[in-house]
């Protein structure tokens, strides 16, 4: 059984500029999935953490402990050290 995780921990309003096309995609995809637009963006962007090149870059960055902690990458960093 997988337990339910809390939504929007420390959620913060951001001021990004995105194209009309992307806004329309997010709006319609959210309607299709029955999620909010914010949930769609958050779920999709978290997939960036599957990019091994990005993880390697974070791992090699100076003073990366803050980045690793804020992005919840502690486990991924341990896995990379073991491989």
Tens-digit pLDDT profile for residues 37-79: 999 999 999 999 999 898 888 888 877 888 888 888 887 777 7
| Residue-level pLDDT at 66 | 85
- Model confidence band, residue 83 (pLDDT cutoffs 50, 70, 90): low
The better pLDDT of the pair 14, 30 is held by 30
Inter-residue contact 58 to 71 (CB < 8 Å): yes
Q: How far apart are CA 70 and CA 77, in angstroms?
A: 13
Expressed as residue numbers, the domain containing 24 is 17-49
Residue 23 token pair:
């806004």
The pTM score is 0.70
Inter-residue contact 71 to 53 (CB < 8 Å): no
55 plus 79 within the same structural domain:
yes
Evaluate whether residue 42 is within a structural domain.
yes
Other beta carbons within 10 angstroms of residue 25's beta carbon come to 13
- Model confidence band, residue 10 (pLDDT cutoffs 50, 70, 90): confident
- How many domains does the structure of the chain reveal? 2
Evaluate whether residue 65 is within a structural domain.
yes
Residue 12 token pair:
């913060």
Evaluate whether residue 55 is within a structural domain.
yes
Q: How far apart are CA 32 and CA 34, in angstroms?
A: 6
């Amino acid at each position: 059984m997988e337990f339910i995780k809390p939504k929007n921990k420390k959620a913060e309003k951001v001021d990004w500029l995105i194209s009309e096309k992307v806004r329309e995609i997010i709006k319609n995809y959210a309607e299709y999935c029955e999620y909010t637009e914010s949930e769609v963006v958050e779920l999709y962007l978290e997939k960036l953490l599957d990019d091994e090149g990005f993880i390697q870059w974070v791992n090699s960055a100076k003073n990366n402990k803050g980045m690793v902690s804020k992005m919840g990458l502690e486990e991924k960093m341990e896995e990379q050290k073991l491989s």
